[in-house]
Amino acid sequence: MSSERVPVELSQGVNGLDKIILRETRGSSAEKSNFFFIFYLFLLLRGFQVYLFGGHVTSWKNDHGEELLFVSSKALFKPPKAIRGGIPICFPQFSNHGPLEQHGFARNRFWSIDTDRPAFPTNSSSKAHIDLILRSSEEDMKIWPHSYEFRLRVALGPGGDLMLTSRIRNTNTDGKPFTFTFAYHTYFSVSDISEVRVEGLETLDYLDNLQNKERFTEQGDAITFETELDKIYLSTPTKIAILDHEKKRTFVIRKDGLPDAVVWNPWDKKAKAMADFGDDEYKHMLCVEAAAIEKPITLKPGEEWRGRQELSAVPSSYCSGQLDPQKVLLGS
Ligand code: BG6
């Protein structure tokens, strides 16, 4: 499941729920002076953790051990309620765009560790990964009558990037295709939402979830936040940046197979209405969700779909004008 240099640990998380922790500790060195050895120990601690409940990433830490994802202090960790924060997986339905429960059922099912996975075509050579699988159950067939295999790989890239790859296969034996929508519902941790801007979605069309999913065109500059926002941007570029001025950090989202991007912040009123979310926590989170919504995916039996997102967090001195946000978007 992972290289020897990358310790993976299966342990019990909140309320005894199983979670897998992947940690990378790096950077010790020794130097000889005239009289003695000097040892340097840099303890760089980065990694992620995934709950089997939901196949849900709940933590992603950088080299300094700083948490990059938001998880609510009021998150319940009580199945079947999905965990509030981290990266819930929305499948086979995004939000209420269909007859199923909100965001589908994958985020509140128990996934398994995938010990028997077929070759995983990926351009990453990362050995620091965890493979999970969710299969159709008899119970779920009653609400969504399809047989599928959903393989999720969560990997840590060489620079500490967090990479999620989903492979969904139609294993129906009745010859029937199935159709689904999908999102990586990522909650990013930000210092102060009013100091944050999202680059890469300007001038695009979007469906406004707050106005009966009506279609509009985004005007002007980058997206900033001063009230509730819940929009599905359509046909978005493969790269989106979240600039956190106060924290001097930029998140870059790279995606493949996921044309849409949802941007969501509940703001104060909706925050108060959510039992598993602190009243003021909306200030410290932002969801930017790589998704396939407008054009649902259809798979015939035997066919497989692949959707991938790669997240990086880079220090930025955007405040002092040294970082050109265009470079973040257009650079490699
Ligand atoms: C977002 C939707 O993806 O998720 C919002 O666009 C929704 O409309 C939000 O409110 C949270 O959903 P839930 O089911 O986790 O409360």
In one-letter notation, the amino acid at residue 113 is I
270 assigned to some structural domain: yes
Contacts of 174 (CB under 8 A, 6+ apart): none
Sign of CA dihedral 232, 235, 240, 245: negative
Residue 175 pLDDT: 97
Residue linked to tokens 């939901």: 54
Residue 47 pLDDT: 96
Q: For residues 192-216, give the mean pLDDT.
A: 97
Give the structural domain span for 211. 53-116+128-315
Q: For residues 257-274, give the mean pLDDT.
A: 98
Mean pLDDT of the chain: 90
Q: Could you tell me the pTM of the whole model?
A: 0.91
| C-alpha 102 – ligand 1 centre gap (Å) | 8
53 close to ligand 1 (CB < 6 Angstrom): no
Residue 328 pLDDT: 56
In the chain, count of helices (H) and strands (E)? 3, 21
95 close to ligand 1 (CB < 6 Angstrom): yes
Locate the ligand 1 atom nearest the alpha carbon of residue 270 and give its number: 10
121 assigned to some structural domain: no
Active site residue 303: no
Contacts of 226 (CB under 8 A, 6+ apart): 194
**Chain segment 174-202, per-residue pLDDT in tens:** 999 999 999 999 999 999 999 999 999 99
Instruction: Output the residue whose Cα is nearest ligand 1's atom 7.
Output: 95
27 assigned to some structural domain: no
330 assigned to some structural domain: no
- Confirm if 309 and 184 have CB atoms less than 8 A apart: yes
Residue linked to tokens 């765009």: 97
327 assigned to some structural domain: no
240 assigned to some structural domain: yes
Residue 125 pLDDT: 52
Locate the ligand 1 atom nearest the alpha carbon of residue 183 and give its number: 3
Residue 4 pLDDT: 39
209 close to ligand 1 (CB < 6 Angstrom): yes
1 assigned to some structural domain: no
75 close to ligand 1 (CB < 6 Angstrom): no
332 assigned to some structural domain: no
- Confirm if 146 and 134 have CB atoms less than 8 A apart: no
Residue 329: name the closest of 253, 230, 264, 260 by CA: 253
Q: Which of 102, 212, 288, 289 to mutate to test the pocket of ligand 1 (most atoms within 8 A of CB)?
A: 102
Q: Which pLDDT band holds residue 324 (cuts at 50, 70, 90)?
A: low
- Confirm if 205 and 233 have CB atoms less than 8 A apart: yes
Total domains in the fold of the chain: 1
Instruction: Output the residue whose Cα is nearest ligand 1's atom 10.
Output: 266
Q: For residue 106, what is the domain's CATH number?
A: 2.70.98.10
